[in-house]
Each structure stands twice: as structure tokens, then as C-alpha cells.
Amino acid sequence: MTPARPLALAALLIAATALPAAAHHGWGGYESGKEMTLTGTVQQIAFSNPHAMLNLQADGKLWHIVLAPPSRMSTRGLPADSIKPGQTVTVVGYPAKSDPAELRAERITAADKTIELR
């Protein structure tokens, strides 16, 4: 076998295993054309890895808001405990394609501070 043939076989095997991503988690899983602004009361917040999340009561509905990793939230000015249950916050973001009550936030305004999350 010449060296070129096993290399071609290797390339084929790699191509065969590179599966298409069924996006749900990255920004691809959200309706980027349907930007929404929600203002409501924080019910619960998890300032945790891999990304912070909060439950927001807004527009008569409980929304699940996906935020940024704690490290990014902190360096951009909203560290742990700067968002608490009962607080009023505003988020701008996109609803999930798979869940009408989930929203990925592009930015959040809390405690008179607005930070970008992407």
C-alpha cells in the first residue's frame, strides 16, 4: 500500500464520524429573528457553570432564561449575588426553537447595570 491510500482512508473515517450538530444549546437553537424584551421578577437564580440560569416571572408566564458563564458575568459587572430572587430584571434575547418558555439572553439589565452576555 502506498502511503497515500491509508491517508485517504483515514480522511474518510474522520469524515464519517463528524456528525452534524443538532443545535439546541448554542445560539443555533434559538430564534435569532424573534428578539424579545422581558421585564419581570426573578423567581430563582443559579449562578453556576456551565452558564448561569434564572427563572423569570414575566408577561404572566414563567420563563427559563439562559445567561452566560459565571466568569463572564463577573468580569462584565454582574458577579454572584448581584441578581437575587425578588429582584426586577430586564432581559433581551431569543426564544428557544424547542421550548417556547426558554429564552437565551443577549443582554441583561439588573441592579441598574446592563451587560452583554455573548
Binding part of the chain for other proteins, among 32-40, 84-92, 93-101, 108-116 by CB under 8 A, reads 93-101
Q: Work out the burial of residue 59: count CB atoms within 10 Å of its CB; fewer than 13 is exposed, 13-18 middle, 19 or more buried.
A: exposed
Q: How far is the CB of 109 from other proteins (least distance, A)?
A: 21
CB count in 10 Å sphere of residue 47: 20
Rounded CA-CA distance 96/104 in Å is 7
- What is the contact mask toward other proteins in residues 38 to 77, using x (rule: CB under 8 A)? ------x-xxxxx--x-x------x-x-x--xxx--x---
CB of 103 to other proteins, least distance (A): 11
